[in-house]
Structures are given as C-alpha cells and as structure tokens.
Structure 1
Amino acid sequence: MAYVKLHGAWASPFSCRVVWAMKLKGIPYENIEEDLPNNKSKLLLQYNPVHKKIPVLVHGGKPVCEYMIIIEYIEETWPQNPLLPSDPYQRALARFWVKFADDKSFVVWTLLRSSGEEREKAKNESLEVLKTIEEHGLGDKKFFGGEEIGIVDIAFGWIALWLGVIEEKVGVKLLEAHIFLRLYAWTKNFKEVPVIKKNLPDRHDLLLLFTGVRQKSLG
C-alpha cells in the first residue's frame, strides 16, 4: 500500500474530520503537525499552493486538499467500513447535509470572534442552524445515517466539542439539552465512539487556544 501522510493541526476540526475518517477505516498514516498560522512548512506550501492551508492528505506522493474532498477520496480508495450509504438517494441526502454543515458552521466561529450586536446576531443564527439540524437532520436515529457513524456525523463533528468550548469562551449557551433533545443525545453518542473519543483534542488546550483567538479578534 502506498504511504499515507496527513498535514494537519491538532485543534482544527477540518483535520480531525480526516483523522476520524482514516481511523474508522483503519488506514495507517503519518501525522505531520503544522505550525499555524505563521510557520507553515515548505511541504504544505508545495502540496497546497492554491489555498496554502490544512488538511492535506498525501497518498503515494500525490496531495489531496480540502477536507471533504479528502474524505471522499478516502471513501473511494479504501472502501472498507463505508462512510457513505450504498443507496444513491441516501448518498445524495448525506451529501446535502455535509454541504449544510460546511455552509452553516461559520456562524459559530463568528460568535467566537465577535461582540455586541454582531455576537447577538451570530448567536441567533447559530440557534437557527441547531434548530434545523434538530428538526430535519437527525430524526429518531442514533447517528445521522442510522446505527453506525458516517460521513454526516463527521461533518457535524465540530458540534460535539468545539461548540461547547466556544459557548464557554463567549459566555452563551446554545445547545440546551432540554431544547435540542436529539442533537444533544447525538453529541453524547458521537463522543462515545472509541475512535472519536481517542482522537478529540484536549478540551482545556482548546479553551486556551480559543482564549487567544478571541482576545486577538477583539483587540
């Protein structure tokens, strides 16, 4: 098997998504931790000259960029333990929710970097995102695809840890257990999957990092 490397960063939900996918599929790889944002390696810049960002998967010397493109590549290259449903319609639905996760997650990061009216707007938009997932995404399933973790769970993985750290840092509560019953239960189930549990960033370290991010953003 060709050698696999991952250029990533421990705190990045984008990197972690790729890690989860590879761990779920049992793919051996070498992790290369990038020093972001100001000391990117020459190899990272060589492999991703367009966006100059992580994650980058290198398989047999060939780079693949953008986290969901990487996961789709992984799915096609290593078909064991599939992350996408076999049914074409269910695959389409999964890709719909993956795109929703990508399109809407930015509002939560806006919350971390804002204050005043901008923060309140980001809070309300974040609540709308969670409400949509609660009412239309999960249904009564344990995971988004049913009883097994899949690509949509990976896409929404930032809710399981990063959201709570942002809530603590900003001083707001979004994911209330009594309001978002299904989504709250999903976060618990997701984090208890052994592969996920072993490959989540340390919460305290993440909180320290986000403290610096927020201080820098607010000046």
Structure 2
Amino acid sequence: MASDDAAAVRVVGGWASPFVMRVCVALRLKGVAYELLQEEPGKKSELLLKSNPVHKQIPVLLHGGRPVCESLVILQYVDEAFAGARPRILPADPYDRAVHRFWAEYADAKLPTALRTLRGMIDGDKAEAAEQLAFAACSKGQRFFAGDDIGFLDIVLGSYVGWFRAAERITAQRVLDEKRTPRLAAWVARLCGHEAVRDVMPDAGRLVEFGEALRAALAANAQRM
C-alpha cells in the first residue's frame, strides 16, 4: 500500500473505547498505518459530528476523507478496502462469515450490559454477568476463532477484555478465571500477546481510573443542570 494512502487513514475515537480498539486492531492486523484522533471524554468534536451526524458516536474511520461509521461495519470495510493485505478479517466461507457475524452481534448485545452490571452501574446478577464472556471458549480447539491468526470474532470479543479486567479490579470478582474457564483464559492470553493487539489493549488500572474520572465528571455535570 502506498504511503500517501496510509496517511489518509484516520480513526476518530478514544483509547478507552472497546469499539475504537477493534478498529485499530483491524488496521494493525492488515498493516495499515493510521492516525488516531482522540476525542475528549464527554464531548463531541466538530469533526465527529460532521463525520457521523446520525449517531454522533465513535469510532469513525476516515479513509481518503470519506467517513465509515459503526465498528462492525468498519471491520468489514477494512477487510474489503485492504483486501490485498493478509490475513483476512472475515472468513472466506459464506457460512462461517454468517456465524461470526451472528456471534459478534450477540457479543455487542450482551457484553456491555454485563460490564455495567459487574461495575455496579446497573442492578443485576453479577455471577450471571460474569458468565456472559464464557461462550468464547467454543473455538473448536483452534488457537483463535479464525484459526491460526486472529479474525473478526477474535477482534470483537477481544475488545472487551480490558474492561472485563477493569471490572475484576473494581468488584474483586474473577471473570477470566483459569480454573473455571481455562480455554477462555488461554485464548485471552494468546490474543493479548498478538502483535496487532498488545500495544492497543488498554491497561486495566488505567481503565479503572478513566471510569472513575468519567463518572465523577458526569455527576458534576448533572448537579449543575
């Protein structure tokens, strides 16, 4: 890929967002250079509002100035736009692609609520919430869901790992338990050691601090209203 094309790839987002992280991992997996444009927590930049006027949310991928929104859509776009770069992000087989998309949608429907429950932000059964990630152990004995290298479902599920580790620190309740879910814990270790992941996986302690600061800022804003 030409250097001028690489310079045209930008990601509007924030380091703590799992949805932003998955876009960065996809680009790194493909070997695509990019610039991360950090949004200030609690605020929406003019660029974000202009690039994603419908949902007004991060992440947004800017490729040659054209915006692509919604993280799952972005992952598929990256796979197709940089199809000449290996590995593939989505499986080649249509049925396998459908299965991975199904579980990705399931993860995004279930895991954010599970995380909020574990962190005490909403009421719910914390033990049940802790089990929500356990289905990731169904990797058919492969190193990753995609086989020997990470792919679409690995990226989607893996983007939540940092926040689950942060929730463990907040609640002192183990989620990624080597004894209870050894295959899941082994998958997480392999994922976090991958060269496309390790430099963008947020530190759990830093996420705890970020969450506390954001909660305090939101509470202060609510009092002023």
Common topology (TM > 0.5): yes
Which residue is equivalent to 2:103? 97
Within the candidate set 12, 17, 24, 1:12 is matched to 17
In structure 2, C-alpha distance between the alignment counterparts of 1:164 and 1:113, rounded to whole Å: 11
Shift of 1:181: 1.1
- Are 1:6 and 1:32, in contact at CA under 8 Å, matched by a contact in 2? yes
Tell me if 1:77 matches 2:104.
no
Specify every segment of 5 or more residues in structure 2 that has no aligned partner in the other structure, as ranges.
Answer: 221-225
Greater mean alpha carbon deviation, residues 154-163 or residues 10-19:
154-163
Shift of 1:11: 0.6
Q: Deviations over 1:34-84 (max 9, x none)?
A: 10213x211111111111111001112111111111111111111122111
List 4+ stretches of structure 1 deviating above 3 A. Answer: 212-219
Query: AA paired with 1:132?
Result: F
- Are 2:191 and 2:197, in contact at CA under 8 Å, matched by a contact in 1? yes
- Are 1:165 and 1:207, in contact at CA under 8 Å, matched by a contact in 2? yes
In structure 2, C-alpha distance between the alignment counterparts of 1:107 and 1:218, rounded to whole Å: 20
Shift of 1:125: 3.0
- Are 1:112 and 1:170, in contact at CA under 8 Å, matched by a contact in 2? yes
In structure 2, C-alpha distance between the alignment counterparts of 1:212 and 1:114, rounded to whole Å: 15
Which residue is equivalent to 2:60? 56
Which residue is equivalent to 2:134? 131
Query: AA paired with 2:104?
Result: V
Query: AA paired with 2:130?
Result: L
Q: Secondary structure at the match of 1:105?
A: helix
Specify every segment of 5 or more residues in structure 1 that has no aligned partner in the other structure, as ranges.
Answer: none
- Are 2:14 and 2:39, in contact at CA under 8 Å, matched by a contact in 1? yes
Provide the TM-score with structure 1 as the length reference.
0.88
Query: AA paired with 1:67?
Result: S
- Count of aligned positions: 213
Q: Deviations over 1:149-183 (max 9, x none)?
A: 10100000134322011111123222211111111
In structure 2, C-alpha distance between the alignment counterparts of 1:214 and 1:172, rounded to whole Å: 21
- Are 2:20 and 2:58, in contact at CA under 8 Å, matched by a contact in 1? yes
Cα distance, 1:127–1:46 mapped onto 2, change above 3 Å: same
Q: Secondary structure at the match of 2:140?
A: coil
Greater mean alpha carbon deviation, residues 18-27 or residues 100-109:
100-109
In structure 2, C-alpha distance between the alignment counterparts of 1:100 and 1:184, rounded to whole Å: 20
Query: AA paired with 1:158?
Result: S
Query: AA paired with 2:82?
Result: W
In structure 2, C-alpha distance between the alignment counterparts of 1:91 and 1:115, rounded to whole Å: 34
Shift of 1:213: 4.6
Percentage identity across aligned positions? 37
Cα distance, 1:216–1:31 mapped onto 2, change above 3 Å: closer
In structure 2, C-alpha distance between the alignment counterparts of 1:176 and 1:112, rounded to whole Å: 15
Aligned positions of 1:1-219 closer than 5 A:
1=5, 3-38=8-43, 40-79=44-83, 80-81=85-86, 82-114=88-120, 118-119=123-124, 121=125, 123-134=126-137, 137-213=138-214
Q: Secondary structure at the match of 1:7?
A: strand
Aligned alpha-carbon RMSD (Å): 2.2
Shift of 1:139: 2.6
Query: AA paired with 2:92?
Result: S
Query: AA paired with 1:34?
Result: E
